[in-house]
Chains A and B, each alone.
Chain A
Amino acid sequence: MTSSSEAHPREYITIYFNGEAYKVPKGLTIMKALEYAGFRFTRGSGCRGGFCGACPVIYRFPGDYKVRVGLACQTAVEDGMFISLIPYVPLVERIPKREELKPEPGYVVKLFPEISRCVSCNSCSKACPQGLKPMDAIQAILRGDLKKAAELTFECIACGLCSLRCPAEIRHHAVFRLVGRVVGVHYISRAKSVETRVREIESGKYNKAFETLLSMPMSEVRKIYEEFMKTGRLPEFLEVK
C-alpha cells in the first residue's frame, strides 16, 4: 500500500532527459521518474517488469565517456544521469513458417547472412541489459552449435540494443528467436507423459467421473475435497485408473 508522504519526506535528485533537467524523487525507476516529471508514455512502456524489451534506455554521467544501458522499468535513477530512450529498433525480417524450419546451422546463416560478418568485438554483449553474451551465441551458431546458442539467449527480451551497437549490423534478436524455434521444434523430444494423458482424456476416460461431479451440489463436492485433504484419497468413483 502507498504511504503518506509527510511522515517520510523524499529526497530529490536531478536527471536529464533529452538534454533537459528534471528534479525527481530518489528511488524511482527511470520510467517512473519520467512519468513523475510529466511524461506519458505510449511507446517505450510495456510489461514494466523487465520481460518485454519495450523500454531499453541508454545513459551517461557527466565526465564519463562510457555509454551505459538498461531497461527504463528496471533501472533506478541516479543523480546527474543523461538519459535517452530507445523504444524501437528496426529489425526487418521474414519469419519462416514452422514447417520450413530446418535443424541445420547453415539454415540460420542463410536467413541471416550478416552473422558471418561478426568481428567478435563484443559490443553486443556490453550492450545487453540482461547481461547475456550475444557475441558468444553468434559464434556458437557459426560453429554449428545451435543448442548452445539457444541456451545462451533463452533470456533475451528482444530489446534490440545489441543490434544498435553491432558494427556487422546483425539482427540479433531475430536470429536468436529463429535459433530458439529451430531447437524447440527439432532438438527436443516430446514428453511422453503429456501425450499419454492427452490420449486418455480424448478417449473419454474421465467423462463419467466428471458427469457425476457436475450433477452433484457444490456442498457435496466440498465434502469430497475435505475428505481428500484429510486422507489423500478420493471416493472410488473418482479414482479413475
Chain B
Amino acid sequence: MSGYPPEMRKLIQVVEDTRKERLKAPPPKRLTLAERDALVKVWHPDYKPEFKRAVRIGPCKGMVMYSVMADLLESWPIVKPSEVDLSHVDYDVDVLIIGSGGAGLTAAWWAVKSGVDPSNVLIVTKLRLGDSNTVKYQSGTQAATAPDDSPIIHFLDTLAGAHFTNNPKLVRVLVEEAPFIIKWLEELGVRWSRVGDDVERVSGGGASRPRLHCAGDYTGLEVMRVLKDEVRSMGIPVLEFHPAVELLTEPETGAVSGAVLLNLDTGEYKVVRSKVTIIATGGCGRLHIAGFPTTNHYGATADGLVLAYRVGAGLVDMDTLQYHPTGVAWPEAILGELIPEKTRSVGAQLVNVRGQRFIYELEPRDVVASAEIRECAEGRGVITPTGTCGVWLDTPLIEMIHGPGAVKRELPALYRMFLRHGIDITEEPILTYPTLHYQNGGVMIDEWTHVLRPSGETIKGLLAAGEVAGGIHGKNRLAGNSTADIFVFGKRAGITAAKLVKELHKPRISLNHLEHYMNELRSIGVPETRRAPIILPDYRGETVLKRIIKLTFTY
C-alpha cells in the first residue's frame, strides 16, 4: 500500500537505502546559540522585510509587524456604533470570558473556585464549547516535574529558545506554576501518560530535560474533555456560536465593561455588560500569513487582538510568528496539519532528498523550520506533484528504535491521519514543511494577566490569557510551553477576575472608544470595506466568488 504517487515513491527509495546507516551514525551536532541566531536570520520568515510594515494607527502606532496583522488592526469595526442599541443589556454578568479553549475554561473554573457565583460568569465562544487549538494539542505540556529537572532549567531553556527576548517575570510565573497545573489536571481526572507509577516525560525541542506531559498524542482532547465537563457540571453558562465583535467601555474612564456579540446563526447582535472581561481568544493561524498553511482551528483569526487594540492595549513581539517545523506537506488534503513534536522526540529523523540529515531535530522550532526552508530553497527538498516542496520525516525509524507497535502506541492520531490517505507511517516516511502554528507575541499583560497600555498602565476591567497574550514566549516559543501558558495564566486570570469583581461596581457601557479609532482610520484613508474582526476565514473558490450575488451581509 502506498498513498504516494510513483514519482514520490521513487524518492522514498533514497530514504530507505540510507536508513540503516543513519540510525547508526551520530546525530548532527547541536548548534551554539550564535549558530542558531545566524540560521534563523537568513531563512526564517520572521526576518523577511517584505512580509512586514509599520502599523499606522492605534496605541502602538509605528510598530513593525506582519503586514496582514497591520491590515487587520487598520480595519473598520463590523458594527456601526450608531446602530447598536446599548440601552438594552441581554446579559448582565460579573465575569465575561471570550473564548472557550484551554485558557478560557481554566479562567472560568478558577473564577468560580475563587468565589464568583457560576451564574455571574458567562463564557462566549465563536464555535462550539471547546473548539480551539487546545483540543488539537498533541505533544504535551512542559513542566519541570522530574527530580533531575528544575523550574530554573525550564526558565533558562524558555529564554534561550526565544533568543532571550521574553519578559522574564512572566516566564518565572510560567515555570513555577506549570508543575502545579499538571497536578491540578491530574486531580480533575486527566489521564496523563504514565511510566509505572510516575508520569511519562517526553523530550521537546530546545528543552534540556524531557518534560512534556502528554496523553498519548490526544493530549488536548483528553484535557478539554475534562475541562468542558468540569465547566458544564459547575453550571457556568455558555453561549456557543456567539463571537465577540467589539468590546464595550465606560464612557468616562475607558475601562472595559462588556462586549457586543454576534449570533452566527441569526446575525443578531447581543449586548453583554460585565465588571471584568477576559480575552482568551487564541491566535491567528487562519490568517495564513506569508502564504503558509496552518495547524490552527477554524476560528483562529486574531479577533481578540483587534478588539483589545481598539480599547488601547499594547502589543509585543508582533513581528514574529511560529512556523511549526513539521506540518504535513503531502497529501494535499491535510496540507499544513500538525505532525507533533513527539514524532521527532521518539526518533524520527529529518532527511533531505539525498537521504541526509541536515539539522539536529530537537533544536528550538524556529531553528528547525529555518533549516528545512534552507534545504528546499537550495534544491535539496522534495517537489510534490502539486509543486510544493518538503523534506522527509523518517517515521519508520521509530519502530526500529522502540520495537513494533511503538507508532500506534505513541502516535495513534498521527498514524490514523495518514492511514486515512493510504500512507502507513510505520513503513513510509512523511513529507513535511513548516506550517503556521502560533502567535508568539500578542497583547501586553502583567503577571496577573491585566492588559496593559504601551505605557505600562493597566486597562481597567480587561484581562487576557493564552495565545492572545504576548511576552511569555518572546520571539519563539518552545514545544509544550503554550499549553503550560494557557493553564497557568488562565488560572491567574480567573483568580484576578474574582478579586476584581469584589472591588468593582456595575459599570456603564458605551462604544465611545471607537470614535477616536474611526477618526484615525478615516485620516489614513482605510476603505470602509476592510472590516475586522474577520470571525472566520473565507475559503470559497475563486470561480464561485467571481460570480457571487450578495443578498445580505451574513456569515
Task: Judge: A and B partners, yes or no.
Answer: yes
Residues on A lying within 8 angstroms of B by beta carbon are 1-4, 7-8, 27-29, 32, 35-43, 45-52, 54, 70, 74-76, 95-98, 130-131, 150, 154-155, 157-158, 177, 180-181, 183-185, 188-198, 201, 206, 209-210, 213-214, 218-219, 221-222, 224-226, 228-229, 234, 238, 240
Flag if A190 contacts B416 (CB, 8 Å).
no
Judge whether B48 is part of the interface by a CB distance below 8 angstroms. Answer: no
CA distance A73 to B30 in the complex (A): 37
B298: which A residues are within 8 A, CB to CB? 41, 45-48
State whether the Cβ of B60 lies closer than 8 Å to any Cβ in chain A: no
Give A39 to B180 CA distance when docked, in angstroms.
44
With contacts A40-B540, A52-B131, A184-B226 taken as known, whether A8 is within 8 angstroms of B198 at the C-beta atoms is no
Residue of A nearest to B225 (CB): A177
B131 CB, nearest partner CB in chain A, Å: 4
Is B218 an interface residue, CB under 8 A from the partner?
yes
Give chain B nearest CB distance to A159 CB in angstroms: 12
Q: 1/0 per position for B167-199, CB-CB distance to A under 8 A?
A: 011001000110110110011111110100111
Residues in B whose Cβ lies below 8 Å from that of A95: 229, 232-233
Given contacts A42-B555, A49-B295, A191-B198, contact A229 B128 (CB under 8 A): no
Which residue of chain B has the shortest Cβ distance to A73 in the bound complex? B334
Query: B321 at the A/B interface (Cβ < 8 Å)?
Result: no
Q: How far is the CB of A116 from chain B (nearest CB, A)?
A: 23
Residues of chain B contacted by A75 (CB below 8 angstroms): 420
Q: Give the docked Cα–Cα distance between A158 and B331 (Å).
A: 26
Sampled A-B contacts (23; CB under 8 Å): A1-B291, A2-B388, A35-B540, A36-B544, A38-B540, A38-B545, A42-B264, A49-B338, A74-B333, A74-B334, A74-B420, A131-B416, A158-B225, A184-B190, A188-B186, A188-B194, A190-B187, A191-B182, A191-B199, A194-B183, A214-B172, A221-B164, A221-B168
With a cutoff of 8 Å between Cβ atoms, the chain B residues found around residue A29 in the complex are 333-334
Range, interface on chain B: 35 or more
Known: A40-B539, A75-B420, A198-B180. 6 other contacts (CB 8 A): A29-B334, A38-B541, A46-B298, A51-B221, A74-B333, A191-B199
Q: At the interface, yes or no: B222 with Cβ under 8 Å from chain A? A: yes
B521–chain A nearest beta-carbon distance, Å: 26
**Contact residues of B with A, CB < 8 Å?**
30, 32-33, 127-128, 130-133, 135-136, 143-147, 150-153, 155-156, 159-160, 164, 168-169, 172, 176-177, 179-180, 182-183, 186-192, 194, 197-199, 208, 215-216, 218, 220-222, 225-226, 229-230, 232-234, 241, 264-265, 291-293, 295, 297-298, 331-334, 337-338, 385-389, 412-413, 416-417, 420-421, 433, 536, 538-541, 544-545, 548, 555
Q: Chain B contacts of A47 at CB under 8 A?
A: 131-133, 135-136, 297-298
Q: Of residues B132, B147, B177, B298, which shows the largest number of chain A Cβ atoms within 10 Å of its Cβ?
A: B298
Cβ contact of B218, chosen from A51, A183, A219, A228, cutoff 8 A? A51
- Give the nearest-CB partner of A129 in chain B: B420
A147 to B469, CA, bound (A): 39
A97 with B417: CB separation less than 8 A: no
Chain A residue, CB-CB nearest to B190: A184
From A40, A131, A185, A210, contact of B155 by CB (8 A): A210
Give the distance to chain A from B529, nearest Cβ to Cβ, in Å. 18
- Complex CA gap A34/B278 in Å reads 35
**B168 CB contacts on chain A under 8 angstroms:** 213-214, 218, 221
Q: Evaluate contact between A181 and B333: CB separation under 8 angstroms.
A: no
Which residue of A has the minimal Cβ distance to B332?
A27
Q: Give the residues in chain A near B183, CB-CB below 8 Å.
A: 190-191, 194-195, 198
Instruction: Give chain B residues whose Cβ lies under 8 Å from the Cβ of A4.
Output: 387
The answer for the CA separation of A224 and B241 in the assembled complex, in Å, is: 49
Which of A2, A37, A50, A192 is B417 in contact with, Cβ under 8 Å?
A50
Residues of A within 8 A of B143 (CB): 194
Q: Are A193 and B541 in contact (CB under 8 A)?
A: no
Residue of A nearest to B419 (CB): A131
Q: Do the beta carbons of A54 and B128 come within 8 Å of each other?
A: yes
Bound-complex Cα distance A228 to B30 (A): 13
Q: Given contacts A36-B541, A47-B136, A155-B218, is CB(A42)–CB(B179) below 8 Å?
A: no
B555-A201 in contact (CB<8A): no
Determine whether the beta carbon of A214 is less than 8 Å from that of B169: yes
Q: Contact at A191–B197, with CB atoms within 8 Å? A: yes
Complex Cα distance A131/B386, Å? 30
- What residue of chain A has the Cβ atom nearest to residue B422's Cβ? A76
Asked if A37 and B544 sit within 8 Å, CB to CB, the answer is: yes
Contacts of A131 in B (CB 8 A): 416
> Contacts A7-B387, A193-B199; is A52 near B297 (CB within 8 Å)?
yes
Whether the pair A97, B234 counts as a contact (CB closer than 8 A) is yes
